[in-house]
Amino acid sequence: MANKKISDFTEVTTVGDSDWLEIETAAGNSRKVKKSNLAAGAMILLQRVVATGTENSLSFTSIDQSFRNLLILGTHGNVTTSTTTAHQLYMRFNGDTGANYSSTNVGSYGGGTGFGFAGPTTALSLAFNPNTGAANTPMGGSRFEIPSYRATDRKKTVLAQHSGVQENVGICRINGGGLWNSISAISQIDILDQSGNLFTTGSEFELYGIM
């Protein structure tokens, strides 16, 4: 049989219990395991999106519906050079641009603290998107947990954590929570800058399925 490249195979968007998954061990070796043999809480990388400097939104599409919860890990920023204006990172589900989202957060900003609530709005706002165009400003790091994302009998919540530099106040740390006022299963997640600014080249988000 002729050798095949990855591109020669048909992409599978759902994983059955008897399907084989390829995993990497701590030693860097490759192993295969059936999905049914993974313990509860096991994490599988489903998708990764990386900005090339031309995108103002990044998306996970056709999300596998065979896991219990989702986890998103992000390292991100925008190209803005402003040192006085902070930009939010927005999140939407299933292409919904209606006023169906609510967000709340508490955090420390430079030498102070604060809390806020917004809703109903047209997107979740749970993190900053640092202005890396300003001199020496690093990208921020964010973590978003989405439990019961495939349920069709309950609205969807998000737990968020973020750390980064907000140009007008300095280092910040945010803990937040969000609500999508829909009982639809989540099959698409869009991540975008508040003002439509381009993502910094190398901004990256990873989507994990949790058993």
Which tens digit of pLDDT belongs to each residue from 146-166?
A: 999 999 999 999 999 999 987
Does residue 202 form part of some domain? Answer: yes
Range of the structural domain that residue 103 is part of: 40-210
Question: What percent of the chain has a predicted confidence (pLDDT) above 90?
Answer: 66
Domain tally, the chain: 1
Report the CATH number at residue 204: 2.60.120
Annotate the chain with DSSP letters as a single string.
-----GGGSPP--S--TTSEEEEE-TTS-EEEEEGGGSPTT-EEEEEEEE--SS-SEEEE-S--SSSSEEEEEEEE-B----SS---EEEEEETT--SS-EEEEEEEEETTEEEEEEEEEESSEEEEE--BTTSTTPPPEEEEEEEETTT-SSS-EEEEEEEEEEETTTEEEEEEEEEEE---SPP--EEEEETT-PPBPTT-EEEEEEE-
194 within domain boundaries: yes
pLDDT score of 115: 84
Residue 89 domain flag: yes
86 assigned to some structural domain? yes
Residue at 97 is within a domain: yes
Q: Using one digit for the tens of pLDDT, what is the confidence trace for 68-125? A: 999 999 999 999 998 887 789 999 999 999 999 999 999 987 777 888 899 999 999 9
